[in-house]
A and B are shown apart, each in its own frame.
Chain A
């Protein structure tokens, strides 16, 4: 199942619940389009909840990075929530784990946005 994204607003932060596969093709393009749409609406505090992501490939990792830089380039913040072990391992292997702010607790994550 390609990645599905469900945004919701929590205290001024857009929390995006992501489920499914973030892989080359529909999954990664869904993420790209969703980020673009959010930025277009002026939503610059974005928390990606990846707890239900079943699979991510190198393209999916690339889309996370692209989302991070796109949001940062617009003076926004993008952070990650509920990484699965597989996603966490990939981010560590690719040295991206320290690039992102990662949280296991949603209220704490939401409260961290400036």
Chain B
């Protein structure tokens, strides 16, 4: 498999359909790679959840289930970390404008917890708008913080 110059090896580089099933598929792929890094069961579950939530966001909010749009999933690892990049073809959004789901006025809202949970379950969370369109989310989980 390809090495990308940062000692990370790309294990998965694929385009997923804009369907909810793609979230399950991405979660499974990410967990399988993370297993190589020796993550304990609960960390695998949380990391998988973070990946799943990211792909759900790409499918639902980014690509809006558009069959002509894909979600680009890249998973790479090194001995010290696993990195997942999820890219959609949507219009992008301003993450700073998202309401805080822990704030009292938003606590009982039905939605809005996805990105919060992603951030809670990974060590690094990066999001950027792409030009001319699309959003890229990058998740990094370190091996040192596991256990």
Contacts and interface: CB of A to CB of B under 8 A. Distances in A.
Contacts of B116: 58, 94
A10 interface: no
A68 B139 CA distance: 32
Contacts of B117: 58, 90, 93-94
Contacts, number: 45
Interface residues of B, number: 22
Interface residues on A, range: 10 to 19
Contacts of A58: 53, 111, 113-114, 116-117
Q: Chain B's interface: helix, strand, loop or mixed, by majority?
A: helix
Tell me what chain A mostly uses at the interface: helix, strand, loop, or mixed: helix
B120 A99 contact: no
Contacts of B114: 58
Nearest to A85: B42
Given A62-B113, A94-B116, A95-B102, A24 B56 contact: yes
B12 interface: no
For A24, A25, A61, the residue with the greatest tally of chain B CB atoms inside 10 Å of its CB is A24
Interface string A21-63: 0001100000000000000000000000000000001110111
A89 to B, nearest CB: 9
A66 B112 CA distance: 13
Interface of A: 24-25, 57-59, 61-63, 65-66, 68-69, 86, 90, 93-96, 99
Interface of B: 20, 23, 42, 45, 49, 52-53, 56, 60, 101-102, 107-114, 116-117, 120
